[in-house]
């Protein structure tokens, strides 16, 4: 299958075609009300004003798929810097100041430096890619991310030949990130993640700067986050401030914290259970009080695109 023959979620996961084709009306209505409601809270005082993004429809987007509601995408999140409950990020992340923002790029590159968030919006081609996005507790959403291919950014800094991995760091600002002040999580900040170079350069890996055609809410990882759709959600580090290219495999937060449960690769693999639960099925967010479960697909449904990256690897050992 071609790289651009993108896996299409079942029709039960998709919003109607009429809603998709009437996108701007939808955004101005339902989404606009949701944004206005959030912006009016005290917690939102640090949230940068959301902006419409100019973007192209990526050939890797799922046609006519805007499945998960804006409300669910922005009210049910994992973002431990703001608390461990799924509702904590929506309550607390608005306090994070995201303007100005820059991302430092260093390590094994010939032109180390930084890129400002505004440059990501104006000097790169933004694309909308609708991904089925899985998180660690076997729940899933279909999210219309807007962003740039990670490879497009990395190439700007002239990668050295001995670079084999890409390491990421999130912001450390306990004065605004309440979860970084909490005791008992065991997490050593900053939150860190990493990809192998071929994973980072794959066209499916993006630096997301928005959802639903607008810059993203703080609780979703504003202003810039990683999205790697064939891996569990915790690999897609949020609020990135540094990207470093290395020769050795970098650390990743959950692998440091509980290595028996969370491997470095963290590819979606229904054949390898988490020690405390099965990963053979997933709960669809937005499907009601008694959420239905669907069968988990290998590499989250992107096997045709990414399986060759792991050819010959023991995926029970390199999990």
44 part of a folded domain: yes
Query: Within a domain: residue 67?
Result: yes
**If you average pLDDT over each of 33-37, 189-193, 290-294, which comes out highest?**
189-193
Tell me if 316 is assigned to some domain: no
Residue-by-residue DSSP string for 149-212:
EHHHHHHTT-B-TT--EEEEEE---TTT-GGGT-SSS---SSPEEEEEHHHHTSTT-EEEEEET
In angstroms, the CA 197 to CA 151 distance is: 10
pLDDT higher at 17 or 97: 97
Which one, of 150, 305, 316, lies nearest residue 237 by Cα? 150
The confidence band for 287, taking pLDDT boundaries of 50, 70 and 90, is: confident
Read off the pLDDT of each residue in 85-111 and give the average, rounded to a whole number. 97
pLDDT band at residue 66 using 50, 70 and 90 as cut-offs: low
Cα-to-chain-centroid distance, residue 118: 19
Query: Residue 135 belongs to what domain range?
Result: 11-310
Count of domains observed in the chain: 1
Q: What is the average pLDDT value for the chain, to the nearest integer?
A: 86
- What would you measure as the largest C-alpha separation in the chain, in angstroms? 53
| Residue 80 forms part of a structural domain | yes
Name the nearest CA neighbour of 51 among 27, 69, 87, 29: 27
- From 35, 41, 5, 9, select the one nearest 212 (Cα to Cα): 35
pLDDT digits (tens, 9 = 90+) for 131-174: 988 887 778 999 999 999 999 999 999 999 999 999 999 999 99
Please check whether residue 120 lies inside any domain of the structure: yes
Handedness of CA 305, 306, 308, 309 (dihedral sign): positive
Contact yes or no for 222/216 (Cβ under 8 A): yes
How far is residue 57's CA from residue 59's CA, in Å, rounded to a whole number? 6
- 2 within domain boundaries: no
Q: 162-193, pLDDT tens digit by residue? A: 999 999 999 999 999 999 998 877 899 999 99
Neighbours of 313 (CB within 10 A): 11
**CATH number of domain containing 128:** 3.90.420.10
* Any domain includes 275: yes
Residue 22 domain-assigned?
A: yes
């Amino acid at each position: 299958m071609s790289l651009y023959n993108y896996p299409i979620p079942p029709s039960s996961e998709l919003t109607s075609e009429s809603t998709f084709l009437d996108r701007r009306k939808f955004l101005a209505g339902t989404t606009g009300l949701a944004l206005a409601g959030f912006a009016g809270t005290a917690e939102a005082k640090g949230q940068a004003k959301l902006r419409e993004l100019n973007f192209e429809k990526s050939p890797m987007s799922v046609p006519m798929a805007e499945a998960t509601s804006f409300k669910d995408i922005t009210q049910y999140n994992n973002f431990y810097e703001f608390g461990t409950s799924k509702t904590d990020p929506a309550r607390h992340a608005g306090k994070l100041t995201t303007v100005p923002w820059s991302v430092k790029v260093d390590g094994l590159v010939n032109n180390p430096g930084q890129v400002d968030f505004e440059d990501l919006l104006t000097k790169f081609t933004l694309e909308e890619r609708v991904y089925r996005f899985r998180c660690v507790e076997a729940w899933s959403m279909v999210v219309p991310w807007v962003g740039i291919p990670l490879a497009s950014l990395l190439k700007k800094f002239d990668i050295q030949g001995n670079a084999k991995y890409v390491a990421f760091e999130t912001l450390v600002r306990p004065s605004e990130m309440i979860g970084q002040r909490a005791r008992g999580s065991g997490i050593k900040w900053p939150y860190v993640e990493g990809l192998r170079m071929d994973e980072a350069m794959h066209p499916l890996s993006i630096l997301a700067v928005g959802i639903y055609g607008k810059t993203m809410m703080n609780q979703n990882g504003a202003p810039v986050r990683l999205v790697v759709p064939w891996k569990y959600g915790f690999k897609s580090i949020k609020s990135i401030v540094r990207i470093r290219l290395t020769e050795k495999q970098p650390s990743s937060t959950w692998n440091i914290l509980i290595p028996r449960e969370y491997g470095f690769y963290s590819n979606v693999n229904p054949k390898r259970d988490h020690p405390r639960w099965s990963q053979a099925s997933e709960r669809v967010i937005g499907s009601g009080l008694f959420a239905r479960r669907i069968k988990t697909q290998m590499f989250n449904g992107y096997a045709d695109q990414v399986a060759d990256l792991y050819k010959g690897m023991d995926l029970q050992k390199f999990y």
